[in-house]
């Protein structure tokens, strides 16, 4: 019946990949990759020679049903990877998974790395109940989304790029107040991994004068 296997890949340190993930990548008929250039380096490192095909946000609407039908009709196994972390968590996967399930193709997801989990756990903020918001809309809908979270009582987790981190912190302050507790992690699992805890105001002041590099995970306390 064919199978789609979601394969998490390291968010930084290559030692974080599992033995099972490497085996699946080697045994699959095809690896669907968000960026084949990035994934080719990973596969080369682990001596994986499975063919690669690009699958990303710009072609997922067009290719999801096509790939699902190919899996079904040819009884193949495809592995889906993103540049880092678990596909489907702020990376393409949803449309392909949906198409596969609708076509009767088995979908399997391996456990593995995703950036928000270590950032949340070591933030010191409540993690028994939280909401993951990922990347906020860059322009349209951003203010509306933040406004909808103004009274959120659970810990909130966001992703942000280094190019918008200062603006994001300013907007968080405008929405939640400068004294709201928060934590920011960047370069997770890498040599220069950093986590900074404090109020939103303290974090804004810190990053105005420090390195803005890597993907940022912002964890913000909920409303008391």
What does pTM read for this prediction?
Answer: 0.93
Give the model's pLDDT for residue 139.
Answer: 84
First-to-last alpha carbon distance for the chain, in angstroms, is: 50
Distance from C-alpha of 109 to C-alpha of 219, rounded to nearest angstrom: 26
CA angle 53, 55, 61 (to 5 degrees): 135
Q: Which residues are CB-neighbours of 43 under 8 A, at least 6 positions away?
A: 25, 31, 49, 50, 52
Distance from C-alpha of 166 to C-alpha of 208, rounded to nearest angstrom: 7
Give the model's pLDDT for residue 77.
Answer: 97
**Each residue of 126-161: pLDDT tens digit?**
999 999 999 999 888 999 999 999 999 999 999 999
**Each residue of 157-215: pLDDT tens digit?**
999 999 999 999 999 999 999 999 999 999 999 999 999 999 999 999 999 999 899 99
Q: List helix spans (H) across 75-141.
A: 94-103, 116-121
DSSP annotation of 221 reads P
* HSE-CB of 3 using CA atoms within 13 angstroms: 13
Complete domains list, the chain, with CATH = 3-109 (3.40.1010.10), 116-220 (3.30.950.10)
Give the model's pLDDT for residue 1.
Answer: 78
Give the model's pLDDT for residue 21.
Answer: 98
**Each residue of 54-103: pLDDT tens digit?**
999 999 999 999 999 999 999 999 999 999 999 999 999 999 999 999 99
């Amino acid at each position: 019946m064919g199978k789609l296997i979601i394969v998490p890949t390291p968010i930084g340190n290559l030692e974080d990949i599992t033995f099972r993930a490497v085996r699946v990548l080697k045994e699959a008929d095809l690896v669907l990759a968000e960026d084949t250039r990035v994934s080719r380096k990973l596969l080369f490192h682990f001596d994986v020679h499975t063919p690669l095909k690009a699958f990303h946000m710009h072609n997922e609407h067009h290719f999801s049903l096509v790939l699902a039908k190919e899996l079904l009709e040819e009884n193949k196994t495809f592995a889906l990877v993103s540049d880092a972390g678990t596909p489907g968590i702020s990376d393409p996967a949803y449309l392909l998974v949906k198409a596969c399930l609708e076509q009767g193709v088995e979908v399997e997801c391996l456990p593995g790395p995703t950036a928000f989990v270590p950032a949340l756990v070591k933030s010191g903020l409540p993690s028994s109940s939280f909401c993951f918001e990922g990347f906020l809309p860059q322009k349209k809908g951003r203010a509306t989304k933040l406004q909808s979270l103004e009274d959120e009582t659970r810990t909130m987790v966001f992703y942000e790029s280094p190019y918008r981190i200062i603006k994001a912190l300013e907007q968080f302050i405008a929405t939640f107040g400068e004294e709201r507790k928060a934590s920011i992690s960047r370069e997770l699992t890498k040599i220069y991994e950093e986590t900074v805890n404090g109020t939103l105001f303290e974090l804004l002041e810190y990053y105005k004068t420090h390195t803005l590099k890597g993907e940022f995970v912002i964890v913000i306390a909920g409303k008391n």
